[in-house]
Chain A
Amino acid sequence: MNNKEFLSTVMRKGQFPSRVVNQQVAALVSELTAALEDEQTVSISSFGNFEVKKRLERVIVNPTTGQRMLVPPKLVVAFKPSQILKSKI
């Protein structure tokens, strides 16, 4: 299901006009991003949590060349499905 199909399903389900859906999705995404940027956890009941995790820097080795590379530390978004979502799927 791609973005277009997804939006039209949302529209149909909630009886929203498309303009409202677009506006709401944009607001949701930007608020979610803003919250995650502050390293806040966003929890959606019966769906799951979005949280930010720190990944430490690490050294990896390419086994074919023997090259050692330093991978920098980073912050990644992790999604943890809730038990309800898990059991439904």
Chain B
Amino acid sequence: MEQKISQLELAAKMAKRTGITKQDTENFVRIFFETIREGLMQDKLVKVKGLGTFKLIEVSDRESVDVNTGERIRIEGHTKVTFTPDASLRDQVNRPFSEFETTVLADSTSQEDMERIDTPAVPPVKKTEEPAPVQKPEPKPEPKPEPKPEPKPEPKPEPKPAKEEKAPEQKAPEAAAPVQQSEGSSWWKWLLIIVLLFIVGGVCYYFGTQRGTNEVTEPAVDDEPVVEEEVIVAEPTPEELAKNYPQVEGGDYWIVGEVCVHEMQVGEGLLKIARKELGNSDLMEYIIVFNDIKNPDIIPPGAQIRIPKMVRKDK
């Protein structure tokens, strides 16, 4: 597997395929790559069908910090070669993993859920019934970014691989199925169960990502009033919550709480943490303000950095 093929071996394989002499093929390979190089120097861009695109990119001077000494160092500007594989090459190489797609995770999907998902069968009903009672009585510190009682119109980006599916969703088909069959005497019982499941689903959704997660499509209209009752619990708005914390002036987000504490590692900077924890290094400013950091360039390893919980400001 971990094997290296040289230019000559490549040429030999090609010669076998085309029936052209080895020498000619080697010659061709040499010229092929030489031409790419010349093309790069001439146009800064070479496209080869089936292989990909080679590009020259200018990197300007920049300042950095030596991670060990904390000294400022200067990285000189230079030109670098980048290669972007053609779609066909990329897909071919990625074939072992091709069936995976990016999927939206619900907030309620914790680490243990992910581990359990790896085992083939997930017992969905049990799972959601459990967390619900725990979550309900809690005072909800979460902000309310959108009016809640209309989860129905939400788009449902259904991920194909069943792997990361959110629990309430897995339940949905089950809930839907009984409705159609249940004309008989146990009609009320079924309705009760459905309503219960929907409440649980609603709560889970509520604790789920703040918008746009995969949502349960509503089977019955009867459930609607129930949801509204559920929702009435008073919520502090982001603005109210934000008063308790330092804010970034002119920023797009409110800081409304603390998510976790991050311990600085050797060689780590705030930019890196911002990218990792907040998803964008531009949001570093929020960490600086939240932690009241005086000099963001020098943060000793082992320092405890609190990661803020952020909510987008309404316009």
Is the CB–CB distance between A3 and B49 below 8 Å?
yes
Residues of chain B within 8 A (CB-CB) of A70 are: 102-105, 164
Taking CB as reference atom, which chain A residue is nearest B2? A39
- Which B residues, 64 to 121, have Cβ-Cβ distances below 8 Å to chain A? 79-83, 85, 88-90, 92-97, 100-107
**Separation in Å of the B205 CB from the closest CB of chain A?**
13
Partner of A24, one of B20, B39, B90, B107: B20
**A61, B13: Cβ atoms under 8 Å?**
no
Q: Which residues of A contact B62 (CB under 8 A)?
A: none
Contact A9 B39 (CB under 8 A): yes
Residues A67 and B47 in contact, CB atoms below 8 Å apart: no
Please tell me which one of the listed residues B27, B83, B210 contacts residue A79 in the complex, with CB atoms under 8 A apart: B83
Query: Which of A43, A68, A77 interacts with B107 by CB under 8 Å?
Result: A68
Q: State whether A73 touches B56 (Cβ < 8 A).
A: no
With A71-B102, A72-B97 already in contact, the answer to whether A25 and B36 are too (CB < 8 A) is: no
| A25-B102 contact given A31-B14, A36-B89, A81-B81, CB 8 Å threshold | no
B40 interface contact, C-beta 8 A: yes
* B25 CB contacts on chain A under 8 angstroms: 24, 27
For chain B, the count of residues having a C-beta within 8 Å of the partner chain is 76
Query: Which residues on the B side are within 8 Å of A20 (C-beta)?
Result: 20, 28
Determine how close the nearest CB of chain B comes to the CB of A76; give it in whole angstroms: 7
Interface size on A, residues (CB 8 A): 66
User: Which residues on the B side are within 8 Å of A88 (C-beta)?
Assistant: 37, 41
Residue B242, interface by CB 8 Å: no
B266 within 8 A of A: no
Interface residue stretch chosen among B124-132, B184-192, B276-284, B293-301 = B276-284
Give the contacts of A11-38 with B (CB-CB under 8 A).
Answer: 13-14, 16, 20-21, 23-33, 35-38
Q: List 23 A-B contacts (CB under 8 A).
A: A1-B42, A1-B46, A5-B39, A6-B48, A13-B34, A14-B28, A14-B31, A24-B25, A31-B14, A32-B10, A32-B89, A33-B50, A37-B93, A44-B33, A46-B33, A57-B100, A63-B283, A72-B97, A76-B85, A76-B93, A88-B41, A89-B56, A89-B79
Residues of chain B whose beta carbon lies under 8 Å from any beta carbon of chain A: 1-7, 10, 13-14, 17-18, 20, 25, 27-29, 31-43, 45-52, 54, 56, 79-83, 85, 88-90, 92-97, 100-107, 164, 209-213, 278-280, 283, 310-312
7 nearest A-B residue pairs (beta carbon): A72-B100, A79-B83, A61-B279, A29-B50, A1-B39, A27-B14, A68-B105
Q: A1-B43, A47-B36 are in contact. List 8 more A-B contacts (CB 8 A).
A: A3-B48, A31-B14, A43-B4, A44-B7, A45-B7, A72-B102, A76-B93, A77-B83
